[in-house]
Amino acid sequence: MDGDGATLANLLREERRFPPPSGLAAAANAGADAFAAADADGEAFWAAAAARLEWAEPWTQVLDWSRAPFARWFTGGRLNVAANCLDRHVRDGLGDRVAFHWEGEPGDTRTLTYADLKDEVCRAANALLSLGVRAGDRVALYMPMIPETVVAMLACARIGAPHTVVFGGFSADALRGRVLDCDARVVITADGGYRKGAASALKPAVDEALEACPDVRSVLVVRRTGQDVAWTEGRDVWWHDLVAAQPAEHEPEAFDSEHPLYIMYTSGTTARPKGILHTSGGYLTQVAWSHWAVFDVKPEQDVYWTAADIGWVTGHSYIVYGPLANGVTSVLYEGTPDTPHQGRWWEIVQKYGVTILYCAPTAIRTFMKWGEEIPARFDLSSLRLLGSVGEPINPEAWIWYRQAIGSDRCPVVDTWWQTETGAHMISPLPSVATLKPGSALRPLPGIHADVVDDTGKPVPNGSGGYLVLTRPWPSMLRTIWGDEQRYIDTYWSRFPGWYFAGDGAKKDEDGDIWLLGRVDDVMNVSGHRISTTEVESALVSHPRVAEAAVVGAADATTGQGIVAFVILRGGAGGDGSTGDALATELRAHVAKEIGPIARPRQILVVAELPKTRSGKIMRRLLRDVAENRELGDVTTLTDSSVMDAIRDGLPAAA
């Protein structure tokens, strides 16, 4: 990402522009005024955002950065996060508003109003107390996408017990590692959940994980599928026995603004998972504000849907805490997008009248692969705003999303953020931004980002480098659980005083930011640094390609050679080879879009790509394949058979 001309050309050629719809601009929650306020006085801006919440005690200082990089926001303030998400809305007369339209994969449904959710959370809080959980104790959750998962998180928050949610798709090993790392004493799980049309067990993985976790004393088990489970007397308790028997009254205690709210282990796309610690006041302030401003939510009208797993930070911030803090009605869906048919999401949008949809580029590219005739069969006219998160969105996928899902009418907000940032950081505000497909545009009000070179010097417009955040923000991680040194080393040492995000980025001629993927994934071909994102976007811009993953593999002559794994539209191929003609055409296409230097050495058609549950491509595994090595850690992969299929289908390694 030295911003050499060859790699820049591709992005700068993206000239499609989409100004804000006039209706949205006229009635927006936040716009130019928010930028002006934040520029005038950043701390006052965040104080006003915090004042959207209910505090039991006011703060005395907005930001204490005296022990940088260990931040304290709203010091001295006290609040209860769960009461902010539930009790105050019920008290304000909104108890009958639907909090969640829950849709199980087999088609069963539940509707929970704010009043229902508050009662359930109080019962669950009382249940946890009866199990001896106290403020500060960690509770691990290993759950399907069911209402009890939200209830359990909020019950933990209500009693000040930090939760750590582990993806239901992770292995027993991954669960054990996380339980031990944060020393959780109670685990909440279910017998299983529904995925891809079948009951998929969860409890056996908990039993296996806990063989090596002697300090876990209780396992609270939700009955979801009714499948048989092994039972450890004295340790295991059914949710429906314990929780249902509790009173629906629980007086929320106000905790310090810096009281730990949760630990989220990063998905491990690149390295050993890190326990990212988020605290209460600053976190809730920024997730609530960003959810309100970026999605322009109107709680009286909108039906909001984050189609992501709760076990990912996106689920924490934009299924649970942000939407509930704002009193919004949401959809919660248990299953996969193709069960029982490939139109399931669109059927849900139609059924509930979803107005705002937030999902990952990987899902969008999958829908592209399946074909636009599938969403076209449903009434998607309720949609008014679309969001993207998780990876850089290729311009072609962005355009497809806007057209095939958004009827060429809905703005698409591309939101850049991380587990570590807790909330949106770089994203358009749809009321004022003229959108550019593939760009997250600018830092949000109150956020300060830049792109710097190797020496930490900001690059000029038109150049690329490393993304940094130059000032603390309310929902920033406070540390890595149990490892302050790793926190300092990972984020604050590369460019002292600034947060190093680990992502490459480019500023265009207007100063707008284009994310280029992880620094670790950048390829070096004959001395040129080329971003995976750009080559992938070039491939996806070819009409036959739905999705692409590109890696740099050791090459005797060029240092690294580009190896591309592609999925074709309509799902053709998958035998690891391409017709020579198509491979030649795709290589030429990339050369034309970016420059000859970016022409892939090898193109392999595959049926699937290895992804984490949050939908990120695990390029390091593809690199292992491309370099014919043993595979690295696959514990966070959604489906490890994908790697076998890729290997088996490949021609003898190059």
Comparing CB distances to ligand ATP, the nearer of 414 and 512 is: 414
Q: Taking CB within 5 to 8 Å according to partner kind, which of Mg ion, ligand ATP, none is near residue 367?
A: none
Structure tokens at 27: 């009635």
Q: Taking CB under 5 A as the rule, which mask of x and - marks residues 233-272 in contact with Mg ion?
A: ---------------------------------x------
Comparing CB distances to Mg ion, the nearer of 164 and 266 is: 266
Comparing CB distances to ligand ATP, the nearer of 100 and 466 is: 466
Task: Decide: is 623 part of the binding site for ligand ATP (CB under 6 A).
Answer: no
The alpha carbon of residue 176 and the mean position of all alpha carbons in its chain are separated, in whole angstroms, by 23
Q: Map the footprint of ligand ATP across residues 353-392, applying CB under 6 A.
A: 389-392
Reading across the β-sheet that carries 186-190, which strands appear in turn?
236-238, 218-222, 186-190, 139-142, 163-165, 260-265, 275-279, 479-480
Residue entry with tokens 């695990």: 618
Nearest CA-CA partner of 430 in 11, 33, 29, 15: 29
Q: Nearest approach, Cβ of 395 to ligand ATP (angstroms)?
A: 12
Cα angle vertex 508, ends 503, 511, to 5°? 90
Please indicate if the annotation marks 529 as binding a ligand: yes
Please indicate if the annotation marks 164 as binding a ligand: no
Backbone angles phi, psi at 549, to 5 degrees: -130, 135
Comparing CB distances to ligand ATP, the nearer of 82 and 174 is: 174
Q: Nearest approach, Cβ of 441 to Mg ion (angstroms)?
A: 21
Task: Decide: is 414 part of the binding site for ligand ATP (CB under 6 A).
Answer: yes
**167, 265 in Cβ contact below 8 A?**
no
Please indicate if the annotation marks 419 as binding a ligand: yes
Q: Map the footprint of ligand ATP across residues 466-525, applying CB under 6 A.
A: 501-503, 515, 518
Give the C-alpha separation, 566 to 33, whole Å: 44
State which of residues 149, 225, 267, 350 lies at the interface with ligand ATP (CB under 6 A). 267
Comparing CB distances to ligand ATP, the nearer of 121 and 618 is: 618
What 8-state DSSP symbol labels residue 596?
G
Give the C-alpha separation, 518 to 266, whole Å: 14
Please indicate if the annotation marks 195 as binding a ligand: yes
Q: Taking CB under 5 A as the rule, which mask of x and - marks residues 38-77 in contact with Mg ion?
A: ----------------------------------------
Please indicate if the annotation marks 191 as binding a ligand: no
List CB contacts of 361: < 8 A, sequence separation 6 or more.
388, 390, 391, 392, 393, 394, 397, 615
Task: Decide: is 419 part of the binding site for ligand ATP (CB under 6 A).
Answer: yes
Task: Decide: is 313 part of the binding site for ligand ATP (CB under 6 A).
Answer: yes
Q: Parallel, antiparallel, or unpaired: how do β-strands 139-142 and 163-165 relate?
A: parallel
Q: How far is the first Cα of the chain from the last one, in angstroms, to the nearest whole number?
A: 26
Q: Taking CB within 5 to 8 Å according to partner kind, which of Mg ion, ligand ATP, none is near residue 21?
A: none
Give the C-alpha separation, 534 to 522, whole Å: 10
**Residue ranges binding ligand ATP (CB under 6 A):** 266-270, 313, 389-392, 414-419, 440, 501-503, 515, 518, 614, 616
**Residue ranges binding Mg ion (CB under 5 A):** 266
Binding residue numbers for ATP = 390-392, 414-419, 503, 518, 529
